[in-house]
Structure 1
Amino acid sequence: MSIRHTVSSVLNRGRTPIGELQPNREEIIHRMYTTLQKSCSKTDEPPKEKHIRNAIVQTHEAKSSTLFWQLAAKLPLAVNAHSCWKFSYLLHKLLREGHHSIFKQSRAYHPKLDELSRYWSHIQGYGPLILSYMKLLMLKIEFHNKYEFLPGSLTPPSNIVPKVGTEPDAQFCFVLDTLDYLENLMETQKAIFRTMDRSKNSTSSASGHNRLCACIPIIADSEQLYSFCVKFLSLLHSQLPSEPLAGFRTRFLQIYNDLKTFYEQCVTILYIRQLIQVPILPSSAPDFHSNIPEVNNEHQTLRRANQIEERPPSPEPSTTESLIDIDENHGISQIQEDQFQVYAQLEQSQEETSRLQSELENTKREQTIEVTKLLEYISQLEREKVESETSKLSLQTNQATLNSLKTENDELSKKKVTVENAFQQLKMKHMKLVQMHAEHLRSTASIKGELECKIPFFSRCARAKTIYLAHETNKKRINSHLNGMFEFLRLQIMKEIQSEKSVLGTRSAKDRGKEYALKLESIEQQPETAFYNLTYVCLSAIQICSEASNIDGNMLDSTQELLLNVEEVLENSKDNPKALELDKVKASLQSVMENLRKLNEDTVNEEQLGTALVAELDVA
């Protein structure tokens, strides 16, 4: 169904009465759609300027761009790259020269433009151009929505500085946005020239003109933005130090070089020179550090490199001969009367023309109002349609939810039967457990009675345990007492050893021999395994050592060795009195006893020899 039939069906369903202006409404919509189709044709040639002008005029007549965007959705922008490229150029022209409401109304179509740019970005040919141009258009829409005091043509108002802001922060942000805008313009023009052949055939062909047509609004935008940058960068340098603005100067210098190259390229192309006056940048970049206010004036008002070549005037129509035949058959009065009638008819025609023009303007105004109402009504119908579809979807969702609830109810019924069966089984098991519990209680009572009978036996066991614990306590006390006695005896022996060391070698030989024999007999009669026997042996060893050292001074070494071994045994017996190492003591004691035995034999022999000598002397 065509757009004309669609609008007709909407009008027929409307609640407003169908009057004489209804065909005009359809005609306006049909005329706009026809203009868009011709402006965005599928051929690889530039759109005609008359179609672009018609689209611009129609937005001013409607005082809105809503109809433009609604009809643009019908164009094959995602099918044909030429149509999408021409649509981008048409949108740029509308943003510059169309009705001022287009900026606010275009923000809602940002996702559509972004989708088109991403769709064509992967396709060669016009794909990169469309991507760059769409980004530029979205940036232009945002720029003008942020700075609403600037028109689409960027013609600066007389009081632009107060509107931007006298604070450095506001001017700083404005310069930043302007530099971003200029950089996007330069990226778009570079993309255009990258896809073109530098030969004359390319710039003079229809395909080349189709690509170069976008340079016309780019030149117009870049000229004004360049002037803004120069003006506000000069103001910022007069208010702020130079260091924070170094980044701005670097970006501006790059834009200056790119813009100068771009203008020089455009001047060499005849197609561009015929459509716009290309500006010329000064040979040197502006000096923002100068204290002279007029030093950068030539950068704010650029000179033109060319004049638009005017078309040759159309030939004037040839003068027609007078239809009034003046001869002798016609008098002056007849001529004057005819002229008066002609003048009267002409004046009447002019009045009629003026009246018709006023009626036409009123009709156009009323048509615009009716179209606006119609568009609002269409939007309302679309909203109602969306709401009805939403209600339908919600109803379907509710129906699906109801079906799912029914299914869940059936499942719950089945689960209920299963749970009831399980409950009956649990109930039976519970009864069994109750019976088992009663039996356990009865058995527990019988066991309790038996235990009460066995209480006397347990009492006797408790008393036996008490006696055993008391016995263990007494045993510990006895062991402690024995340990104390052992420690006392050990200390006494140590004292005896020290005293005997001090009197070694002070007794007579006769006394030493007699006491030695007695000690030797007593030692042989005592066992050497028990602790008390060890005590006795140690005391005997002390006395023997004392006697041996008194008998003969040569026995001091063996006796001292015996005493040292006894001291070592006593020191080791502190920790464990029962573990006694007596081997060294026994060996030392045997050595001393052997020496004493030999000494005793020598003494007996000497006495016998002396007795024999005395006897011989008596005999003599």
Structure 2
Amino acid sequence: CILGTHHEKGAQTFWSVVNRLPLSGNAVLCWKFCHVFHKLLRDGHSNVLKDSVRYKNELSDMSRMWGHLNEGYGQLCSIYLKLLRTKMEFHTKNPRFPGNLQMSDRQLDEAGENDVNNFFQLTVEMFDYLECELNLFQTVFSSLDMSRSVSVTAAGQCRLAPLIQVILDCSHLYDYTVKLLFKLHSCLPADTLQGHRDRFLEQFRKLKDLFYRSSNLQYFKRLIQIPQLPENPPNFLRASALSEHISPVVVIPAEASSPDSEPITDLVEMDAASQSLFDNKFDDIFGSSFSCDPFNFNSQNGMSKDDKDRLIEQLYGEITALKEGLENFKAEVGDNQVGRMRPTGSAGELEAELAEQQHLKQQAQDESEFLRAELEELKKQREDTEKAQRSLTEIERRAQANEQRYSKLKEKYSELVQNHADLLRKNAEVTKQITVARQAHGDVEREKKELEDSFQRVSEQAQRKSQEQAEVLETLKRELATSRQELQVLQGTLESSTQAGAEQSTRIASLEQERDRLSQAAEQHREEMAALQAELQQLQDMLSHEQESSRTELEMLQTQLRDKESTEQALQQLLAKEQLSLLQGTTHEAKRIVQDALARMEDPAHISCTGSADCLLSQTLAASECAERLQDAHSKYLLDGAAMGSLLPCLALFAHLVSNTLLQGSATSHVAPVEPADRLLELCKQCGSEAVSYLSALQDPGTVASADLSLVTACLGQISAIGEELRPRGLDIKQEELGDLVDKEMAATAAAIETASARIEEMLSKARAGDTGVKLEVNERILGSCTGLMQAIHVLVLASKDLQREIVESGRGAASPKEFYAKNSRWTEGLISASKAVGWGATVMVDAADLVVQGKGTFEELMVCSREIAASTAQLVAASKVKADKDSANLCKLQQASRGVSQATASVVASTKAGKSQVEEKDSMDFSSMTLTQIKRQEMDSQVRVLELENQLQKERQKLGELRKKHYELAGVAEGWEEDGEW
């Protein structure tokens, strides 16, 4: 599909095929469609998005429809469709982002057009996008049973395959979100972005957990390398943290096969018959060469008008041919109906041929409807094309006017955006000034040093200028002396030449002017020197003022620092008080739980509760382990008060486990011998009292350090020792005899079943020979259901033998079967006990049926026997499959046989009840001849009988409870419940 979109530069063919799929009726098909469409949006041609936007409303409707189905793939499809709609909307709003979201940092800056508003909105859209991805991630994981290896099953891989595309999207979205948030924090105040940071932190935790869980699945390990996010989220308030950010990179090995190849194959090959019919229709319409090259399509919008006319004429011709073929087919059907009326021996063949012809007729009608629909669609497309050409000119004219208005609006919008950006910059500058004020002291010191350096430089510059002025004055003096000498020479030569005198006079005038100019320059230099001295004085005054302000600001900062230290000390004291209050409240609640358990032990209603030693041992072990953890947490808390977080959970769990241990110990003492029961009950009370004392010591601040948990731990150890004494022991059977004994018991059970079946057949023969009427009907029904039960038990015994043989062969290794049975003695003893129970139950049920048929027994006795033998077979099934492989075929047969026994037992009970009701109908009483007094007398006698029977029923129930308790104890001994094994 991906290559096809690049070949035809769009997804029109893809959607033409998808529109014919039953996506609203098959959840698995819809799930696989979402996977394929996701890959097309990521890796397909850029026009896939444009061709798919028109179906966005259909995807939303389908998502709402699947959202009503809470089982199976319903919710998965609903959430996946929402994700695809969000992805299309995101890429439509942000066309610079490619489908696979791979961009460089420069392209990311260009996507936001270097505008903080665009970056702000883009970050919100990325949060929404990532939220949809995480929702799909969590929904898929919550739909899987993570306690099993779901990633190696076909059903699990079908759900996990689309998550590869989700992981690729999430890695890019997380990277871009981090970079955009750093950019926003550099332009906007931290308070403005508090919502962004909270939302990012929540998504960071979810994404980190999902990446970690995905990396542990075997399915992803061979297909994709999932990155691990850092332990802590980035600190956006520190700009330098951006250099510590490492972009997560997802690596897909080149040699790995496509993870969704099987799902796509299933998508394409779901129904071979429907696919073949679709291919035939496709070839009939477009030709066989067209179907051989599926990516050689011409766009319908790009076809010329002559091509459309030719295609319409071709379709008309094919419709006419199909109509003629349909008429011929009707004629053939008529001939076949006439021929069928002839008395020939081929009626079956004609019916088959008629059915085939009807099928072909239906197929031809479907093809005709399909071609008619295609013709109507082509006509509509031609009309739409003509309308589009007519409106093109009007649209171009409107586009020019809209473009002019758009340019004006764009200029106005640019001005508004610039003003907004200036305001944001000013706001950021004010925030930065507040931060800079905290560094004022260091800056003042630096400025002081700089002013001193500047003062030194100004002094040196003034000295240099003074030296230069002195040198200029010396030069002027030398020039003046030279001028005077020259004047004297000129005056001496004045008398020798009158003509040169005038020239000398002119030269003297110019020299005088030059002298005046030099005098003015000297005056100007003197003024500049005075200005420099004034500037030097001003700098000295400024330096003293800055020193004074720096001193004042330093004192103010020191005052604020002292205030903050006092505030921090007060908060620490408040925190210590809150921690102590929390510890006292938790300790008080824990003490109340233990005291409640002690009170319930004294409650008369608790005397009827019983428990086993094994449950007591498990509760005691859990309480001992929790006590050790509590002791460690207590020690850490004494060293560091900040370790309160680990102490409080241990306190709550310790209270619950100790209370459960006390109640379980009290219940176990009710079924134990007198002496161990008294000791156990006394230890439970002592343990509860020590636990209350320990919790009271923790509650008091003065005795927290001296609280000791060793007495509670010692009591728990003594309770555990008594529990070990109360556990039942196994039978004294030689281990080397266990293997032979299992075979003998199974053989004896099979023989007992066969004997019982034979006796039931014999009783049925006697009943048919000696009984009539209702009695014969009742006896036949009861004995028939008993025969079915015996057959089901026989099948179960055979399946149990096969499963046991498989267990022994797979688990014994190089050892013999007898050694395997001896090694697993407790399991072997369970098999022996279950086999005996099945054989005994079959014999007792046959005896009860015999008595019922003879009229000497009761129907209730037969129902109880049938239920008892069903319970015995359930025990045999449990004993057989405890060591079996869950994927074993023999185990499946055994479970099926067990269900057959349950159904046969229900049939026996139903037959017995029906027979009982038939017999009791014959014995209905006649009250027509009785007087009012006789009826009243009978009523009183019936009430007395009811009370007597209720009393007997209560006594029998108590007797049944005692019998079951004794049976439980004897069964524990008979089936080898010991410490060193596990049944």
Q: Give the TM interval when normalised to the shorter protein.
A: 0.3 to 0.5
Query: TM-score, normalising length from structure 1?
Result: 0.43
- Structure richer in helix, relative to its length: 2
Instruction: Name the structure, 1 or 2, with higher relative contact order (CA <8 Å, separation 6+).
Output: 1
